[in-house]
Structure 1
Amino acid sequence: MDLTQVSPTVWQLAFPVGHVYFVRLADGYALIDTAVPGSTPTILNALTRLGGRSRNLRQIVLTHSHIDHMGSAADLVEATGARVLAGALDAPVISGTAAELEPAYTAPERALHEQIMAGFAEADVRPLQHVAVDVELHDGDTVDDWSEPVHVLHVPGHTPGSIALHLASSGVLFPGDIVATMEGRAILGPFNVDRNQAIASFRRLASLEVEALCVPHGEPVLKDAGEVLRAAAPETDWL
């Protein structure tokens, strides 16, 4: 898989479904999301390419509870001992003590979801393994040990406990699945439990000062990402 440098401290590791991001810390690395189950060897190989070892993965931040984001978290924790951080409202789903809510699919979203599930079946993606959440994150929290301040935003709609991370000083935004990109445009991420809430969360993120947009689906926007977000029309997507 390709490693793309987003900023001096951030790299994207691309996957067919659900990209992940490495962030260099003072004493190791944080990982934003973990792709589908079975992705651990690829992620650890990428960590090695960045000059780290398994013990250098300190944090795993899960933007939400879906399989293409938390899928390899349990294996990575076992391999590295990293702490898991996630939004407080999604933490029970991630740990397996609450059930995942079904999205309210539009017709185009349902067709896309069926296509993705068929691809998972063809690739023999392993069943999801739950993992304990060490730190539950809330709106307005900060995350320790990063090289610059990182602000947590509760951005519900895709899931009840979806979070985004904003590195204000460098202008880097990890929006989770509230935002995707397609053909250079920012679009509303599909498969939302509450579409209107997701649109409101998208608009909140579009109000931030953002230079680089680190989306899990689509290509990252490496320059003038705020303008791309503000030019979007999420109300018209997936109808």
Structure 2
Amino acid sequence: MDVVELTDRLHLLRFDVGQAYLWRDADGLTLVDAGPRGQGGEIRRAIEDLGGQLGRIVLTHAHGDHTGSLAELRAWSGATVSAHRLDAPYVRSGRPVPPPVLEDWERPLFEAVSGHLAGPPAEVDVEVDDGDDLGFGDGAVALWVPGHTEGSIAVHLPAHGVLFTGDTVAEHGGDVLLGVFNQDRERAVAALKRLAGLDPRVVCFGHGDPLTADAGATLRAVAGGY
């Protein structure tokens, strides 16, 4: 796992599959997504190196590459876990969410990563919905963005101009694009356009390099192509 400082309060945790983010407040750390299976120890070491206590985990959706280490993290941290009410049952049960409706070009890629769709069962403490205050980042807000999964959320920190998109948007090879493996592509496109209207300064994806310059303009340009 690689740890990359994006700002003095924000770090990227990059895994072999996907990534998570640590946000620092004066009263502790918040983890946005929990990484794939087997990364709990690496995440713990990163938190210890950064010097803080993990108090909160916010899940953008229930796919296993975002929830796989959640049970392990809860076991040692006691962190409060939040997820959208429609994806929370899948996190608790460890059942995979309903499968995506694949574009033809997505099928070979999906076959290679489909084992990451579910993680071990783990408790969710707080079920959130659109507009809910997430309790960190000076007013972080949950934005319901169904399409990738029914219960996908983005996390917006208006006070800091930071946006976590989950898998609604992605970056690959320098290109920003609609995320893959969507249950409902039309709704995913609508979600992308909603996020582009926020004009963030920093955009953090579930997969791919974050945008730290011209982020709002880039997101608007991508949304304009759909």
TM-score with structure 2 setting the length? 0.94
Q: Distance in 1 between matches of 2:93 and 2:113?
A: 23
Q: Which one of the candidate residues 211, 215, 219 is aligned to 1:221?
A: 211
- The corresponding residue for 1:169 is 159
- The corresponding residue for 1:47 is 47
Asked if 1:134 corresponds to 2:125, the answer is: yes
Q: Which one of the candidate residues 75, 78, 82 is aligned to 1:81?
A: 78
Gaps of 5+ in 1: none
Instruction: Name the aligned partner's letter for residue 151 of structure 1.
Output: V
- The corresponding residue for 1:91 is 88
Q: Which portions of structure 1, spanning 4 or more consecutive aligned residues, are displaced by more than 6 angstroms?
A: none
Task: Summarize the alignment of residues 28-67 of structure 1 with structure 2, pairs less than 5 Å apart.
Answer: 28-52=28-52, 56-67=53-64
Q: How many residues align?
A: 225
Tell me the CA shift for residue 98 of structure 1. 6.3
Tell me the CA shift for residue 128 of structure 1. 2.7
Contact persistence 1:202–1:234 (CA under 8 A): no
Asked if 1:72 corresponds to 2:69, the answer is: yes
- The corresponding residue for 2:191 is 201
After superposition, what is the alpha-carbon deviation per residue over 1:25-82, rounded to whole angstroms, capped at 9, x for unaligned?
2221110111111010111111112113xxx111111100000001110110011111
Tell me the CA shift for residue 115 of structure 1. 2.5
- The corresponding residue for 2:4 is 4
Tell me the CA shift for residue 18 of structure 1. 1.3
**3-state SS of paired residue (1:112):** helix
Contact persistence 2:137–2:157 (CA under 8 A): no
- The corresponding residue for 2:145 is 155
Q: Distance in 2 between matches of 1:8 and 1:164?
A: 21
Tell me the CA shift for residue 216 of structure 1. 1.4
- The corresponding residue for 1:111 is 108
Which range is displaced more, 148-157 or 181-190? 181-190
Tell me the CA shift for residue 184 of structure 1. 2.8
RMSD: 1.8
Tell me the CA shift for residue 194 of structure 1. 0.5
Distance 1:91 1:234, change over 3 A: farther
**3-state SS of paired residue (1:222):** coil
Q: Distance in 2 between matches of 1:147 and 1:213?
A: 15
Contact persistence 1:26–1:147 (CA under 8 A): no
Instruction: Name the aligned partner's letter for residue 206 of structure 2.
Output: P
Q: Which one of the candidate residues 210, 221, 231 is aligned to 2:221?
A: 231
Q: Which one of the candidate residues 135, 143, 167 is aligned to 2:134?
A: 143
Gaps of 5+ in 2: none
Contact persistence 1:155–1:162 (CA under 8 A): yes
Identity of aligned residues (%): 43
Instruction: Name the aligned partner's letter for residue 207 of structure 1.
Output: G
TM-score with structure 1 setting the length? 0.89
